[in-house]
Structure 1
Amino acid sequence: MSDFFNLAPVLVVGMVLGAVFFGGLWWTVRHAASSRWVALWFFGSLVVRTVIALTGFYLACGSDWRRWLAALLGFSIARVLVTRLTRSASLVAGDGSHAP
């Protein structure tokens, strides 16, 4: 039971990092398409999002494999949540520019 309380904050950190990573990807896709330098937007976004995620994982997890596992689980949960939220937001907005 003590392990759960030690790993719960790391799970939340993983969820926050996932929300930043995948939310940033969604924001990039929405805004870079109308930019003049699309490739630069995507590459820059990838670098920034990856540096933020890896730094956050390193600071939160250290060398404990259980903490890494909890953080990656939170990251995966955030991916599912962001995907569902952004899919419903684009359907409500009537954005028909992509296939379902």
Structure 2
Amino acid sequence: MSNLISVLLGFFGGTAIGALFFGGLWFTTKKMLTSKWPALMYLGSLILRVGFTLLGFYYIGQDDWKIMLIGLLGFISMRFIVLRMTRTENLEPIELDKEY
């Protein structure tokens, strides 16, 4: 029973990390279009997201590497879920100025 609980906690921990990582990536790309300093915003978001992800996987995988792999499965599955949730149907092309 204890093994089942650790597997479930590893999977749901990986999905939580994946939701924060990919949700943060989506949020950053949406806000970067109107930001005054988009490169700084992207770099700061990247450092925060990767740091949180590494710490989360370190915490999940302390006991067993198999639990870390199950957490990675939850992380990857969350990628597809966030991708489906943030899909936009009607994309319009952005008009660029012809003057350079």
Same topology, TM > 0.5: yes
Greater Rg, structure 1 or structure 2?
2
How many residues end up aligned between the 2 structures?
A: 94
**AA paired with 2:14?**
G
RMSD of aligned Cα (Å): 1.8
Task: Give the alignment's TM-score, normalised by structure 1.
Answer: 0.84
Partner deviation per Cα, 1:11-68 (whole Å, 9 max, x = no partner): 0000000000000000000001111111101111000001111111111211521011
After the TM superposition, which parts of structure 1 deviate over 2 Å for at least 4 consecutive aligned residues? 1-6, 94-98
**AA paired with 2:25?**
L
Where does residue 65 of structure 2 map in the other structure?
Answer: 65
Task: Give the alignment's TM-score, normalised by structure 2.
Answer: 0.84
Name which of 70, 73, 92 aligns with 1:96.
Answer: 92
Between the aligned partners of 1:4 and 1:63, the Cα distance in structure 2 is: 14
5+ residue gaps, structure 1, are none
| Greater per-residue helix proportion | 1
Where does residue 45 of structure 1 map in the other structure?
Answer: 45
